[in-house]
Amino acid sequence: MPSDFTKLLWLLKLGAGVNIYLFISLLALEAPDPHVVLPGLILVGVSAFRCLFPNRYLDNIVFHDNPLSSIFLTRLLATFSEVAYIYQFSYVIRVLNVDHIVWVDLVSWLMVAQVVISQVFVWSAILTKRLALYYYEEVGWLIIFAANTAASIYLYTAAGTPDDGIFLLQLNLAFGAGYLPWQVIHLRSLRAEARGDSGGGVGLAVGWRDGLRDAIHQRRPRADAPAWGGLIGLTWMVAYWASLIPLWVHQVAKVVSSDLG
């Protein structure tokens, strides 16, 4: 892995083109289901922005020293996109739960509740600069996709599941098989970072007003690999902003609108 991410961060901008294409494709759907298309538009739109102006909340790391790289702005946009696309995934579970199994519906709403809780943790981490709070945010994502995987396993084996939804369940299961072990590794990395951080484990590193000011105005341009989280950080950026998640969200919107609508 290169020690300098400059070229890789420039290449990440190609993901903006992918997201713009997906955005236009969603707008062109003949019978869009707003429950899946609107979240998809939000996700791919925000992802395009993040590909163009990447940053890392920890230490307010940015690639471009530009007001559009603001941690506050990015996090504000990401809050809407994360709640939106998890709502989209939860909606799919409910659409495919044709037998109305109560625990499956409850699990789908748990995903939405948990993503909201994770937003509280990530905002708290940004405003107080307590690294340990990022860890709890990411525990929330583990819970979300464990729930999504569990519900998908049940629906995949259920007799009444619509045939047109099987592919979406296969995507859920494939993602869960790859993501859940990766997230465990990610959590171990975050926990090690939090333990090594002098102010992140206990107490407030800064007051929330100082944290808010820094999130809006402070930008630290860096391109070295450690500043961006190394291989784990690079994998996360490429998959989340430029490839896997946008393509997945687009496919969900397309299948639900065209085949399950």
Q: One digit per residue, pLDDT tens: the chain, 261 residues?
A: 789 999 999 999 999 999 999 999 999 999 999 999 999 999 999 999 999 999 999 889 999 999 999 999 999 999 999 999 999 999 999 999 999 999 999 999 999 999 999 999 999 999 998 988 999 999 999 999 999 999 999 999 998 899 989 999 999 999 999 999 999 988 988 888 777 654 444 445 788 899 999 999 999 999 999 999 899 899 999 999 999 999 999 999 999 998 776
192: tokens are: 């090690």
Place of tokens 């569990």: 150
Instruction: Tell me what pLDDT residue 201 has.
Output: 43
Instruction: Name the phi and psi angles at 204, rounded to 5.
Output: -90, 125
Position 106, amino acid: L
Nearest to 43 by CA among 209, 248, 246: 246
Return left, alpha or beta for 134; rule: phi > 0 is left, psi -120 to 50 is alpha, else beta: alpha
Instruction: Tell me what pLDDT residue 203 has.
Output: 43
8 A C-beta contact, residue 110 and residue 147: yes
Instruction: Tell me what pLDDT residue 58 has.
Output: 87
DSSP E strands, 46-86:
55-56, 61-62
158: tokens are: 């259920």
Residue 220, classed as helix, strand or coil, is strand
Cα angle 154, 235, 118 (rounded to 5 degrees) comes to 60
8 A C-beta contact, residue 80 and residue 239: no
CATH placement of domain 6-258: 1.20.1070
d(CA 252, CA 261): 12
Instruction: Tell me what pLDDT residue 198 has.
Output: 45
Q: Could you tell me the pTM of the whole model?
A: 0.93
Q: What is the CA radius of gyration of the chain?
A: 19
d(CA 95, CA 111): 15
8 A C-beta contact, residue 74 and residue 81: no
Nearest to 51 by CA among 77, 24, 79, 83: 77
Nearest to 51 by CA among 13, 5, 19, 22: 13
Alpha helix stretches (DSSP H) within 97-202: 102-128, 131-157, 166-196
Instruction: Tell me what pLDDT residue 202 has.
Output: 41
